[in-house]
A = this chain, B = another copy of it.
Amino acid sequence: MKEILCGTSEITGASFSIYPMTDRFVDIILSSLKEVDTSKVWLKSDDVSTCVRGRSEHVFDVVKAIFLNASKGGDHVVLKAKFSNGCPGDSAGDAFMAEDSILMNNGLSQKINQEVATQFALYPLGIPGYMDVIMDQIKTVDQQGVFSGGVHYASRLDGDANSVFAALESAFEGARNSDSSHIVMTVTMSANSSSRKEGQ
Contact = CB atoms under 8 A, between A and B. Distances in A.
A93 to B, nearest CB: 8
Interface residues on A, range: 35 or more
What is the copy number of this chain in the assembly? 2
Interface of A: 1-6, 13, 15, 17, 19-23, 25-26, 44, 46-49, 51, 53, 76, 78, 80, 82, 84, 87-88, 117-119, 121, 123-128, 130-131, 134-135, 138, 149-156, 184, 186, 188, 190, 193-196, 200
Given A48-B190, A51-B152, A186-B186, 10 more contacts: A3-B152, A4-B131, A13-B153, A15-B154, A17-B188, A48-B118, A48-B156, A123-B184, A125-B130, A127-B128
The 7 A-B pairs with the shortest beta carbon distances in the complex, nearest first, are A3-B150, A19-B19, A21-B25, A47-B196, A47-B195, A51-B152, A15-B153
B196 A153 contact: no
Chain B CB within 10 Å, residue with most, of A15, A151, A152, A184: A152
Given A82-B121, A154-B15, A3 B135 contact: no
A6 B131 contact: yes
Contacts of A17: 78, 80, 188
Nearest to A139: B1
A6 B124 CA distance: 15
